[in-house]
């Protein structure tokens, strides 16, 4: 039904355009007739001149169609013929040379579909299509083979064959992963991919990658387990950044709701990313009835408003002069699962849904326990927000500036983590987070604006290190 509706909408738009085109042509035709009448009244009617006028007439009409004859929909020619039924001597001799153009912009493919390179990314604008024709394509699963196929059909990617050939996944989060399964999950037409960490044969870390159903340019990554081996530097850098963020979230949540572990609602992370710049990151903690704490990384935020902690990384908009005003973030707070940046430039959003297992939320993260770092208890107690914010700022800045993927990507995410019990002292067997990351070289360009192809990146949230966490307060 969705597909049919969309097709219907497209046809409606097309019909509107054709009608408009027809009216325009009709007006021009009347003008031509008037001119012709005027000429007739001032010159002696002769056969030769009549033919000449006819020829001119045909030419004008033909030019006014403004479309190549080969692609003209039959309807148009019919219209023209009906207009010229008084001299139907077969004149399809439109020389098609320059002249007036009332082109519809959209090309008709042999199969009847509208050509403008459809872009599944709602935030992308086709440079060919009319804005009103840019409707969301139905969500669709994009296996690599299909992606490649679709890319081959397009012409915009011819200049980037390297990207097309690359089908293997390379998760740029500092670890190496091997895909071991794929499944269509309920509620999301995009398949969920399952990866194992291959840095160590015995590493139990798993991660799941799935496209956001709302914006398929966004990938949602969920980690589970703990690495039993050293992490690469790149992963460590991100870990230091994201663990701090996670710590803050967790701290806030646990501090305010120590006895209600399961009441920590699945946080929603939304992030906007730009194609080239990561502007900043900001953390806004507001919890009733306590005053809000706001940590500012320009244009981005992580907030734990009430029961819906939200992480927002707006990497597109320039930093407002004083965006530590909570209202700046209000648009992102309390969003159910998804929020979109209002960025006028290319942007996309992601929603990260927390996975809830049993009675506790889990997110896993590429946790690194090795060699001596033990997984932190489910609750981290952070008492000095100011100090932490500074640490976080430094860590984030360092990680962001040192890792190009941050700059090119978007993506990112969030989270929360959680313990599996509220009373503290639980088994703490699960700790994690979700984040957005990207599939390098696997991103179907048919789904993104070419200008956005560099936007994907990753922001990984790692569990806090021992230095940033304490045992549960209670």
The verdict on 198 binding DNA (CB under 7 A) reads yes
> What spatial distance separates the first Cα and last Cα of the chain, rounded to whole Å?
54
Q: What is the CA radius of gyration of the chain?
A: 29
**Three-state SS at 233:** helix
Q: Which stretch binds DNA (CB under 7 A): 35-43, 120-128, 183-191, 319-327?
A: 183-191
Closest approach of Cβ 198 to DNA, in Å? 6
CA distance 411 to 314: 10
Cis peptide leading into residue 94 (ω within 30°): no
Scan residues 144-163 and list those touching DNA (CB under 7 A): 144-145
Scan residues 389-448 and list those touching DNA (CB under 7 A): none
The answer to whether 65 and 25 have CB atoms below 8 angstroms apart is yes
The verdict on 143 binding DNA (CB under 7 A) reads yes
Q: Is the Cβ of residue 68 or residue 198 nearer to DNA in the bound state?
A: 198
Cis peptide leading into residue 371 (ω within 30°): yes
Q: Which stretch binds DNA (CB under 7 A): 174-182, 263-271, 300-308, 382-390?
A: 174-182
The verdict on 194 binding DNA (CB under 7 A) reads yes
The answer to whether 212 and 270 have CB atoms below 8 angstroms apart is no
Whether the CA torsion 3, 5, 10, 11 is positive or negative: it is positive
Closest approach of Cβ 1 to DNA, in Å? 18
Structure tokens at 445: 């360009």
Residue selected from 20, 50, 75, 165 as contacting DNA according to rule CB under 7 A: 165
Residue selected from 10, 28, 136, 166 as contacting DNA according to rule CB under 7 A: 166
Q: Which stretch binds DNA (CB under 7 A): 33-41, 138-146, 364-372, 461-469?
A: 138-146
Residue selected from 11, 38, 185, 233 as contacting DNA according to rule CB under 7 A: 185
Q: Which stretch binds DNA (CB under 7 A): 88-96, 187-195, 287-295, 424-432?
A: 187-195
Residue selected from 65, 193, 269, 396 as contacting DNA according to rule CB under 7 A: 193
Scan residues 347-376 and list those touching DNA (CB under 7 A): 355, 358
CA distance 277 to 6: 34
The verdict on 186 binding DNA (CB under 7 A) reads yes
Count interface residues toward DNA (CB under 7 A): 28
**Three-state SS at 357:** strand
The verdict on 183 binding DNA (CB under 7 A) reads yes
The answer to whether 264 and 361 have CB atoms below 8 angstroms apart is yes
CA distance 303 to 325: 13
Closest approach of Cβ 280 to DNA, in Å? 33
Which residues lie across from 39 on neighbouring strands?
none
**CA nearest neighbour of 106 among 74, 63, 136, 73:** 73
Closest approach of Cβ 273 to DNA, in Å? 23
Closest approach of Cβ 148 to DNA, in Å? 7
The answer to whether 318 and 325 have CB atoms below 8 angstroms apart is no
Q: Hunting for tokens 């706001």 — which residue is that?
A: 294
The answer to whether 116 and 128 have CB atoms below 8 angstroms apart is yes
Judging by beta carbons within 10 Å of its beta carbon (0-12, 13-18, 19+), is residue 192 exposed, middle or buried? middle
Closest approach of Cβ 183 to DNA, in Å? 4
The verdict on 179 binding DNA (CB under 7 A) reads yes
Closest approach of Cβ 468 to DNA, in Å? 28
Residue selected from 208, 254, 284, 303 as contacting DNA according to rule CB under 7 A: 208
Q: Is the Cβ of residue 23 or residue 170 nearer to DNA in the bound state?
A: 170
Q: Is the Cβ of residue 299 or residue 375 nearer to DNA in the bound state?
A: 375
Closest approach of Cβ 318 to DNA, in Å? 37
Q: Hunting for tokens 């956001």 — which residue is that?
A: 212
Closest approach of Cβ 145 to DNA, in Å? 6
Q: How many residues comprise the chain?
A: 474
**CA nearest neighbour of 371 among 231, 244, 262:** 231
**CA nearest neighbour of 318 among 342, 340, 294, 295:** 342
Q: Is the Cβ of residue 107 or residue 166 nearer to DNA in the bound state?
A: 166
Which residues are at the interface with DNA (CB under 7 A)?
Answer: 143-145, 165-169, 176-187, 192-194, 198, 206, 208, 355, 358
């Amino acid at each position: 039904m969705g597909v049919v509706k969309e097709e219907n909408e497209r046809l409606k738009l097309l019909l509107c355009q054709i009608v408009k085109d027809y009216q325009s042509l009709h007006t021009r035709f009347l003008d031509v007739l008037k001119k012709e009448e005027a000429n007739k009244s001032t010159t002696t009617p002769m056969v030769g001149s009549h033919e000449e006028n006819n020829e001119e007439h045909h030419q004008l009409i033909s030019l006014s169609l403004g479309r190549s004859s080969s692609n003209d929909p039959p309807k148009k020619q019919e219209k023209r013929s009906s207009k010229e039924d008084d001299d139907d001597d077969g004149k399809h001799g439109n020389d098609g040379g320059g002249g007036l153009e009332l082109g519809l912009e959209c090309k008709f493919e042999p199969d009847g579909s509208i050509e403008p390179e459809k872009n599944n990314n709602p935030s992308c604008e086709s440079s060919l299509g009319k804005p009103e024709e840019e409707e969301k394509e139905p969500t669709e699963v994009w296996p690599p083979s299909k992606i490649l196929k679709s890319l081959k059909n397009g012409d915009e990617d011819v200049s980037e064959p390297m990207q097309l050939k690359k089908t293997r996944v390379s998760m740029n989060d500092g670890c190496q992963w091997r895909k071991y399964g794929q499944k269509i999950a309920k509620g999301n037409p995009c398949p969920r991919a399952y990866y194992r960490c291959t840095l160590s044969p015995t590493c139990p870390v798993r991660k799941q990658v799935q496209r956001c159903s709302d914006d398929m340019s966004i990938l949602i990554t969920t980690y589970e387990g703990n690495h039993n081996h050293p992490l690469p530097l790149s992963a460590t850098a991100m870990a230091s950044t994201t663990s701090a963020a996670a710590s803050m979230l967790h701290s806030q949540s646990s501090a305010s709701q120590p006895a209600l572990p399961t009441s920590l609602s699945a946080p929603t992370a939304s992030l906007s990313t730009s194609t080239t710049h990561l502007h900043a990151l900001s953390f806004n903690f507001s919890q009733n009835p306590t005053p809000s704490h706001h940590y500012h990384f320009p244009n981005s935020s992580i907030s734990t408003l009430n029961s819906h902690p939200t992480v927002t990384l707006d990497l597109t908009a320039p930093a407002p002069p004083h965006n530590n005003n909570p209202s700046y973030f209000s648009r992102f707070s309390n969003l159910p699962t998804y929020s979109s940046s209002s960025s006028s430039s290319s942007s996309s959003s992601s929603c990260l849904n927390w996975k809830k297992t049993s009675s506790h939320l889990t997110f896993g993260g590429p946790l690194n326990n090795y060699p001596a770092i033990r997984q932190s208890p489910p609750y981290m107690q952070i008492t000095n927000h100011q100090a932490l914010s500074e640490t976080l700022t430094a860590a984030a800045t360092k990680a962001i500036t040192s890792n190009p993927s941050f700059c090119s990507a978007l993506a990112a995410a969030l989270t929360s983590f959680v313990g599996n019990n509220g009373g503290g002292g639980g088994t703490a067997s699960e700790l994690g987070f979700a984040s957005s990351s990207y599939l390098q070289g696997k991103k179907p360009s048919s789904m993104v604006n070419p200008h956005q192809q560099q936007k994907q990146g990753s922001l990984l949230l790692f569990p806090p290190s021992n230095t940033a966490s304490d045992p549960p307060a209670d």
